[in-house]
Structure 1
């Protein structure tokens, strides 16, 4: 991310508004650049020395910044003091909800993770048991981080999040305990709880810290147990009228022999690129998942066997050990490119990032294949990249979303 550009408050702004704008600018610089002296803040903001002195005092009194050291071994005194954001001013909680697990991260105001915990959810657990498990994980993560309570929470979950109501919905495949947990978190913590689709949060992580840092417009194509997409246009996440932007699993595509319906995505792109379809594709190529990997492997990603198959195929190709692995990756790229081409024809994003467990397992080997096929399917020039954040993309996006919300509140102290 580029540091914020200096932009002093306009002459027409009221004194209170000018102070708020200048304070926020200084805080954004301290976040992006790290600790700074008053002189450095003056240079970066373009504000006068007295104005910087006032805002430094104001932010110190608000408990948002503090002296964290001195600049240079030869310098001493007030002009050498380094000011930094008080990171422990707020504790943020990010949650990644899966069908069979919940992962929680507790971070400080700068987004640095202080503790992370994961717990499995049994296939036979009742919704009440699953909610109790998730709440216990939140409590354990907060305790490990030394936090009494969260300032802001952000939850990533599969399904549609209605922009008007903030409620979670979607198909019958969405676990009911997810929505119940969100309500319980709001009741128990009395803190803001943000609910967002998991793919959208993964896109936020890739936009801020991953493969799309140099793109204001891109699409994250999610390839995991199911399929989905997140759309970022001109730097803004687009959710659609009902939160359904990116439900690419329902996209009608050739090769499935059926059509999706309002009640299920069977027959759509999901039937080509979902984990069940990819396991069948691997079997056609004579591939089997390595022992000890796949659906039975513990972890927050609920890794499908398809992930292990893709990873094994990439490894085999790198070693030149198994031509069937390369053929499988070729066939997989053919399928992924169909969905990518449809998205590009409508949105022309210029960049497609392959995320999700399968996208990450395929890495550059899959991304390069998809790029070649996409170039033949579409006249629109499109860069295809493997996700760079890794298997914690949803969790990292949740932490970043919670940080944004907390800073929106805390970085606007009253003048």
Structure 2
């Protein structure tokens, strides 16, 4: 059945806006070539989008041409503003951007373990409000929030997770109460996977698994171009995978004895000590950054006498990757998080070699490209998606 004229207009407008989003300012002639629409149809949609305030003339295609086709049309970037937050155990990082994703302001706030819950919530919420105000973002539409916990796919709410600070959950509620903008929550590993798929190591893949290696371990699963969260929001909780070499089994409330024991920061610290490497003391989230420095140092030295450490670390990672590959056959595994970034191509190549001996499915292993910025980048992308769905969707023009 043919689309109604109004439906066809919405589809055409959204298609043109997507090209303007992806390619930047375009002439009417370029939009005609890209969309395959007729010249009168493109002229009508450009007029509609200008009247709606979504598009404006931003320049001309060249000095040698004049007339309507030489005008460059671009999305009105300040039609809506966005914010993204990366909530970690030890603090908050945030960014404020326009509708095209251009950064207007950034800020961060360390929050110590001894900070009272109400004080942590107030300081973090006030930081966001102040940064939005200082950026001149008067049209805050959507806020993407990355959290180290599970998001209930039915309600979109952060589920109670053992071991996370109380201020995490309270901050999310405070933001929803204090802001008129839409607040969208997502697991931090899933957001890093979104960022790597849109702008990082998996740009050419619509099916892949992103493995986060940091204080803990997790995975973001992309199948056929879609992020898969699972029935309870727990898809990718590979820290709970039972694997050989841990001396135990995980439980419903504790991932110790699972894959986490082998490749979490503490497990890698013990492995480094076994290989005679100087290792920092202490546990907790800070241990991941400290161990990332150790791994980066080994890689920078070319392995040398510590090559055995990298080999065994790769073998450990390949056990979890093999389990994921046997179930999903993703064709590509991207290693991210602090430790994945530190290992880089040297670690990824070792994991790929060992994985090839554990599974018959050909699987590339790539280092992530976005490092520590991946979660914020992903949070900003989902905030932009929600804003554009509202502004560019049915009725927007």
Relative to the length of structure 1, the TM-score reads: 0.92
Q: What residue number does 1:305 align with?
A: 290
Deviation at 1:136, TM superposition (A): 2.3
On the 8 A contact 1:206/1:212 being kept in 2, the answer is yes
| 1:283 matched residue in structure 2 | 273
Check if 1:37 corresponds to 2:19: no
Pairwise mapping of residues 13-412 of structure 1 onto structure 2 (< 5 A)?
Answer: 13-169=3-159, 171-289=161-279, 303-317=288-302, 322-324=304-306, 326-412=307-393
Cα deviation, residue 85, structure 1:
0.4
Counterpart CA distance in 2 for 1:227 and 1:295 is: 13
Check the 8 A contact 2:215/2:284 in 1, yes or no: no
> RMSD of the alignment, in Å?
1.9
Give 1:6's aligned residue.
none
Cα distance in 2 for residues equivalent to 1:144 and 1:384: 42
- Range that drifts further, 266-275 or 326-335: 326-335
Q: CA deviation at 1:88?
A: 1.1
CA shift, 1:190, in A, is: 1.7
| CA–CA separation in structure 2 for the residues paired with 1:154 and 1:383 | 30
**Cα displacement (A) at 1:139:** 2.1
Q: How many angstroms does 1:290 deviate by?
A: 7.8
State the Cα distance separating 1:289 from its structure 2 match: 4.3
Q: Secondary structure at the match of 1:147?
A: coil
Please list the CA deviations of residues 95-114 of structure 1 after superposition, one character each: whole Å capped at 9, or x if unmatched.
10100010001111111222
Q: 1:303-336 CA distances to partner (integer Å, 9 max, x unpaired)?
A: 532111111111122xx6x412x22111111110
Could you list the runs of 5+ residues in structure 2 that have no partner in the other structure? none
Distance 1:370 1:296, change over 3 A: closer
Q: How much does 1:143 deviate?
A: 2.9
Task: Work out whether residues 219 and 232 of structure 1, in 8 Å CA contact, stay in contact via their aligned partners in 2.
Answer: yes
Measure, in 1, the Cα distance between the counterparts of 2:255 and 2:332.
25
* Whole-angstrom distance in 2 between the partners of 1:204 and 1:399: 10
- 1:206-251, CA deviations, whole angstroms, 9 ceiling, x for partnerless residues? 0000111111100001100000001100000000000000000000
Number of equivalences: 396
**Residue 5 (structure 1) aligns with:** none
Q: Secondary structure at the match of 2:320?
A: helix
Bigger mean CA deviation after superposition, 109-118 or 84-93 = 109-118
1:181 partner SS: helix
The 8 Å contact of residues 336 and 368 in structure 2, kept in 1 or not, is answered as yes
Q: Where does the alignment leave 5 or more consecutive residues of structure 1 unmatched?
A: 1-10
**2-side partners of 1:172 and 1:295: how far apart?**
14
TM-score (norm 2): 0.96
Shift of 1:270: 0.4
Question: Is the 2:280–2:291 Cα contact (8 Å) retained in structure 1?
Answer: no
Question: How big is the shift at 1:128?
Answer: 1.1
